[in-house]
Structure 1
Amino acid sequence: MNTDIKQAMHVEAGKSFGTAEANENERRWNEDKIDRKNQDPTNHYDKTRMKLNFEIGSDGKVYPLGYQEKPLEVRLQERLDELNWKPFKSNSKIQPNCCAKFVFGGNHDRTLEMAFGNQSVYLEKSADNSHLHRCEEIENWAKDVYDWCANRYGRENIVGFQVHLDESSPHIHTLIVPVGIRPKSGRECVMWSAKFGKDRYEYGRILKEMHTSLYEDVGSKYGLERGDSIDGRNVQHLNKRDYIRKLTKEAKQAEKAVKGLQSMMRNLESRIFSYRLQLEEAEKELVSGKITLDRYEAQKADIQKLIAEYQTKLEDKTDKLHIKEQELERLTADVTKARSVVQPFRNHKVDFMPPQITEKVPLFGTDKWVERQNLYIAKLFTEIVRKIESLYRNDAARQIEAAQRNVLVDYGELYQLKRENKSLSDTNESLESELNTLLGQLAVPSVRNLIFAVADALIGGQPVPISSGGGGSTSDLPWDGRRPDEEEEAYQRRCLLYASRIAKTVRRRYYRKS
Structure 2
Amino acid sequence: MAKTAKQVMDIRASKGISNGESDEQQRRWGDKAWAEALRRGNHDRTREHLNFEIVKGGIVQPIDKSKRITERMAEELMKRGIKDPNEGLNEPKYRTCVNIIFGGSRERMRQLAFGNQVLNEEHGADNSHLKRLPEIEQWAKDMYEFACGKWGEENIIGFYVHLDELNPHLHCTLLPLDKDNKFAFKRLFAGENIYDFKARTTALHNELAVVNERWGLGRGDNIAETGAKHRSTEEYRRMLTSECTTLEEKIENHKAVLDHLQADIRLAERRVKGLTTMVANLENQKYELEEELDNLRADLKAGRGDSEELRTRIHRLDSQLQKVLDNLADKKGKLNEADRKLEELKVEMEATRERTEELRKDAYHIADNIEQQTRYRMTDALYGEVADTLRTLWATMTDEQKNLLSGTVLEDVAERSEKIIECGMLLLCGYIDHATDFAQGSGGGGGGSSDKDWGRLDGEDDMAWTRRMMRTARRMMRPSGGKSVKRK
Which structure has the higher relative contact order (CA within 8 Å, separation 6+)? Answer: 2
TM-score band w.r.t. shorter chain: 0.3 to 0.5
Q: Tell me the TM-score normalized by structure 2.
A: 0.46
Name the TM-score, length of structure 1 as normaliser: 0.44
Larger Rg: 1
The structure with the largest helix share of the pair is: 2
